Amino acid sequence: MNSIEVKGFKIPLVGLGTWTLRGRECARLVEEAIRLGYRHIDSAQMYGNESDVGEGVRASGLRAEVMVTTKIQPTMLAPRDVEASVKESLRQLKLDTIDLLLIHWPNPRVPLADTLGAMSKLKAAGITRQIGVSNFTVALIEEASRIAPDLVCNQIECHPFLNQDKVIAACRKHGMAVVAYSPIARGSASGNKVLERIGKAHSRSAAQVSLRYLVQQGIVVIPRTSKAARLKENLDIFDFALSDAEMADIHKLSGRGGRIVDWTWSPQWD
């Protein structure tokens, strides 16, 4: 099973994160990823690469098969800004619709109900197929789910070195998928003794073990890479499985490395 279904919406379990990728390099990697079998491409207004992502998707000739995600930057969450900025995202992407639209970071200065209301209108208008959130705490997940029960995911930092059990449980309580960014902890998986040992037992890299650990829990992963050679490696995680003992050993790593991403917009995490 290479995808999960959430509220009638299928999300591929492995996607390509495009943070820091721009220009021709980004377009080329997106096109190559789709050629290799990726069907989930993640972008954001803050990344400044929506036009490049759209170029790569169109060049693949497989737009109808690919789920494209973009995210609204936290300074554009007021209703008027949501509508204007998302329509600009669509113009940048040069696609007919956005498949999944997320709030990138929560902004306490803008009522959540206002933002989600504006996003729901865009969904009703067909500008986006589905809506979700990113970097939401347990408390914010509860609030958002009351306002918009149709939210399909929460995209969060998630890797073997960070314990996200409470947030994952809150997402599952409300039928939301968990999408993991930095799933290899920005390269920190490589060299970890536990992940290397388990990888050796399966003839896999520590990075592949890290990704498999998350996917085996039904967590979507969107690793970023700037190397075409790594695209296939990150996708090649569906023909082996980790044992219960291996999963338990990896879970013991959580909390050791802690958070990588600086929480500028929402410092509280439950």
Is the Cα dihedral 146, 147, 148, 153 positive or negative?
negative
C-alpha distances in angstroms, 170 versus 42, 166, 257?
A: 23, 6, 23
138 close to 160: Cβ distance less than 8 angstroms: no
Q: Which residues contact 197 (CB under 8 A, 6 or more apart)?
A: none
131 close to 152: Cβ distance less than 8 angstroms: yes
47 is catalytic: yes
C-alpha distances in angstroms, 10 versus 38, 169, 222?
A: 14, 20, 15
Burial 73-102 (b: 16+ CB within 10 A, else e): bbbbbbbebbbebbeebbebbebeebbbbb
C-alpha 11/C-alpha 54 separation (Å) is 19
CB-neighbour burial class of residue 207 (10 A; exposed 0-12, middle 13-18, buried 19+) = buried
Active site residues: 47
